[in-house]
Amino acid sequence: MDNKETQLELSYEAAVERLEEIVNLLEKGEAPLEESLDLFREGVTLAKACEEKLSALTEEISKIQLGPEGIMIETKVEFPDA
């Protein structure tokens, strides 16, 4: 299994945690150039995967509310772009 397949199988939380590790490593500036480039690529892939997961979940999230007659209705929850 390659690195990209592994990243797609990560939970959202695990992907964010790995992304934070990558940012910290890159900010330190101690990695050799080639390793830094590989880390950057991995980070971009993780960020895209996280964005896609959030987008998919946002579409699925529904909020149950009571209508005027006490009947439950389902409405989509809208999240503002961050």
Structure confidence by residue, pLDDT tens digits, 15-50: 999 999 999 999 999 999 999 999 999 999 999 999
pTM score: 0.67
Question: How far lies 10's CA from each of 14, 34, 48, 49, 73, in Å?
Answer: 6, 24, 13, 9, 33
Domain spans, the chain: 3-76
Q: Which amino acid is at 4?
A: K
